[in-house]
């Protein structure tokens, strides 16, 4: 059963129960009111009969009946008035109905000093002890509430008919409103069923107005956008990775095949082997970068963490960079008065943070002209410690800045510099895994500044 019909059924069941409770309540309240009203009419006859008997001074059927008729004007259906004198031998019955009931049970309760209201079958009785003349007598009046019963039967039929009609109306309205309510969901489902791997550009329709369905549609569309971006990145990643892997492998095998075509001197073999080894190192570096990128892209959290000092990490990187023939000067600015030891302390993966800072520093050295200076500075920006790396290279254009973090993206000016286009996208992912941020500011002809922000360990957690 669909959700629409389940909700409709639940709604109908709840309304049916409420209608049943309401109908039963109305019926029994009406029964109580009619019963009490008829008891009041019977008590009126007790009082009138007592008054007439006291005024007449005797119990004479022929003289009493006209007085009773003048007082009542109407006689209740199957009405009986019974008077038991204290000697229990004499009784009076009105002229219309013979004695048909056993009054012993009622008289027993009257003898206990009670005013009795009782219903036996469909007949109602009232009785009490009254002073008639100079002695006490028991007066019992009974009748059948014929009009009340007819009204109650009509009410019962009316309530039952109204209940069935209301229930049918509720079913129809429930089906209609559930259809209208679930119509946007049905449209979303139909649109989502048409979306496949080749149609990720499609989106589900967004209902008008505001509400949960609008949020649902927007959430689905946002998820589809992320999936589409991930698919495009995956295609781009596979395409670029294949190309980047094919280039060194082709060069590697080509050089070896060329070397085997004829006999060569030891120096020539040494040159071929050296070139092949260089291609092998380049291929190994590319594979390592690809593996790191794949691992960090799929990861949600870093499991291997330890406390480390950012100044020591940067100094280790600068020491390694100084051993390479880069022909650029690297300046490291570090003000111990501004940076307390606890501000320098971060929690993270040392290898990944070294790769992140190292990629940015390597780019600054590669894209800076020879003889220029690359500056590295540590700055406190609570709650972050910021590594600022600034070069004086050619800068990055605004059009290239939009794609700078895409894997394997390289601008036309950057193609002359060795690289794969993975470094910045890998760096940003590593920084994000450390709950930090990566910001780049660049100006054509003036250089580029990269800010790597990583949260330091707060004093309360030390």
Which CATH number goes with the domain that contains 247? Answer: 1.10.287.130
* 267 and 145 within one domain: no
**Within a domain: residue 178?**
no
- Distance CA(293)–CA(287), nearest Å, equals 10
Give the span between the Cα atoms of 347 and 461, in whole angstroms: 11
Which of 448, 408, 454, 450 has its CA nearest to residue 431? 454
Pick from 298, 326, 349: which residue ends a domain? 298
- 159: which 2 tokens? 């309530």
CA atoms within 13 A on the CB side of 332: 15
Least confident of 104-118, 234-248, 393-407: 234-248
Number of domains in the chain: 3
**Whether the predicted pLDDT of 450 surpasses 80:** yes
Q: Report the pLDDT value the prediction gives residue 405, as an integer from 0 to 100.
A: 79
Phi, psi of 230 (to 5 degrees): -65, -40
Are the C-beta atoms of 122 and 144 separated by less than 8 Å?
yes
- The CATH number of whichever domain residue 110 belongs to comes to 3.30.450
User: How much is the average pLDDT of 224-242?
Assistant: 72
Answer yes or no: do 337 and 415 share one domain.
Answer: yes
Indicate whether 74 and 13 sit together in one domain. Answer: yes
Model confidence pTM above 0.75: no
Query: Which comes out higher in pLDDT, residue 248 or 151?
Result: 151
Neighbours of 430 (CB within 10 A): 28
Per-residue confidence (pLDDT) for residue 461, from 0 to 100: 47
Residue 172 lies in a domain: no
Residue 187 forms part of a structural domain: no
Residue 402 in domain = yes
- The pLDDT assigned to 177 comes to 83
pLDDT recorded at residue 459? 62
Same-domain pairing of 44 and 81: yes
Task: Identify whether 182 is part of a domain.
Answer: no
Contacts of 251 (CB under 8 A, 6+ apart): 279
Indicate if 291 and 320 belong to the same structural domain: no
Residue ending a domain, choose from 298, 332, 358 = 298
Residue 239, domain member (yes or no): yes
The mean pLDDT value for 455-461 works out to: 70
73 and 140 share one domain? yes
Q: Are residues 384 and 291 in the same domain?
A: no
**Residue 327 lies in domain:** 306-461
The top-scoring range by mean pLDDT among 101-105, 115-119, 340-344 is 115-119
Q: What is the pLDDT of residues 34-48, one digit of tens each?
A: 999 999 989 988 888
- What is the CATH classification number for the domain harbouring 402? 3.30.565.10
- Please check the confidence at residue 278 and state whether its pLDDT lies above 60: yes
Strand order in the sheet with 116-120: 91-93, 80-84, 135-144, 123-132, 116-120
Task: Give the model's pLDDT for residue 57.
Answer: 62
Q: Are residues 239 and 337 in the same domain?
A: no
Q: Please indicate, yes or no, whether residues 442 and 410 belong to a single structural domain of this protein.
A: yes
Residue 214 has pLDDT above 70, yes or no: yes
Q: Are the C-beta atoms of 11 and 121 separated by less than 8 Å?
A: no
What does the buried/exposed string (b/e) look like for 341-359 if buried means 16 or more CB atoms within 10 Å of the residue's CB? eebbbbbbbbebbbbbbbb
Question: How far is 272 from 35, CA to CA, in rounded Å?
Answer: 118
Whether 280 and 224 share a structural domain: yes
Tokens of 332: 């490291």
Weakest-pLDDT range from 69-83, 120-134, 366-380: 69-83
Q: What is the dihedral of CA 149, 150, 151, 157, to 10 degrees?
A: 110
Give the least confident one: 278-282, 284-288, 412-416. 412-416
User: Across the chain, what does the average pLDDT equal?
Assistant: 78
Asked if 420 and 322 sit in the same domain, the reply is: yes
Half-sphere exposure of 261 (CA within 13 A, CB side): 9
CB atoms within 10 A of CB 209: 8
Same domain, 293 and 316: no
Cβ neighbour number for residue 242 with a 10 Å cutoff: 10
Tokens 């360990």 belong to residue: 457
Query: Is 183 part of any domain?
Result: no
Domain stop point among 123, 151, 179: 151
Tell me phi and psi for residue 64, to 5 degrees: -80, -40
- The dihedral built from the CA positions of residue 257, 263, 264 and 265, taken in this order, carries a sign that is positive
């Amino acid at each position: 059963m669909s959700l629409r019909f389940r909700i409709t059924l639940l709604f109908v069941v709840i309304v049916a129960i409420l209608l049943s409770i309401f109908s039963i309540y109305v019926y029994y309240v009406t029964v109580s009111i009619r019963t009490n009203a008829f008891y009041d009419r019977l008590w009126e006859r007790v009082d009138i009969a007592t008054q007439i008997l006291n005024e007449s001074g005797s119990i004479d059927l022929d003289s009493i009946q006209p007085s009773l008729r003048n007082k009542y004007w109407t006689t209740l259906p199957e009405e009986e008035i019974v008077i038991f004198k204290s000697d229990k031998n004499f009784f009076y019955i009105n002229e219309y109905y013979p004695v048909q009931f056993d009054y012993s049970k009622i008289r027993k309760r009257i003898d206990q000093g009670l005013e009795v209201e009782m219903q036996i079958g469909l007949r109602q009785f009232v009785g009490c002890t009254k002073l008639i003349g100079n002695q006490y007598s028991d007066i019992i009046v009974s009748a059948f509430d014929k009009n009340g019963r007819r009204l109650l039967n009509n009410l019962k039929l009316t309530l039952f008919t109204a209940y069935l009609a209301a229930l049918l109306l509720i079913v129809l309205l429930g089906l209609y409103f559930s259809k209208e309510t679930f119509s946007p969901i049905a449209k979303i489902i139909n649109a989502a069923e048409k979306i496949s791997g080749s149609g990720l550009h499609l989106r589900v329709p967004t209902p008008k107005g505001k509400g949960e369905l609008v949020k649902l549609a927007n959430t689905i569309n946002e998820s589809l956008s992320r999936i589409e971006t991930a698919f495009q990145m995956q295609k781009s990643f596979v395409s670029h990775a294949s190309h980047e892997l094919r280039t060194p492998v082709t060069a590697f095998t080509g050089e070896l095949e060329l070397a085997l075509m004829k006999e060569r001197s030891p120096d020539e073999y040494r040159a071929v082997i050296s070139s092949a080894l260089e291609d092998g190192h380049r291929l190994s570096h590319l594979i390592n970068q690809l593996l790191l990128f794949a691992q960090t892209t799929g990861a949600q959290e870093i499991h291997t963490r330890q406390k480390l000092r950012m100044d020591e990490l940067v100094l280790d990187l600068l020491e390694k960079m100084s051993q390479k023939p880069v022909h650029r000067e690297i300046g490291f600015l570090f003000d111990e008065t501004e940076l307390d030891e606890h501000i320098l302390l971060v929690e993270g993966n040392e290898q990944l943070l070294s790769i992140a800072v190292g990629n940015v520093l390597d780019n600054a050295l590669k894209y800076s002209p020879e003889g220029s200076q690359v500056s590295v500075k540590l700055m406190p920006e609570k709650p972050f410690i910021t590594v600022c790396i600034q070069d004086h290279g050619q800068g990055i254009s605004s059009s290239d800045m939009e794609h700078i973090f895409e894997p394997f993206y390289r601008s036309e000016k950057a193609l002359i510099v060795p690289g794969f286009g993975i470094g910045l996208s890998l760096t940003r992912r590593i920084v994000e895994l450390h709950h930090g941020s990566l910001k780049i500011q660049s100006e054509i002809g003036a250089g580029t500044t990269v800010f790597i922000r990583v949260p330091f360990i707060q004093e309360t957690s030390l």
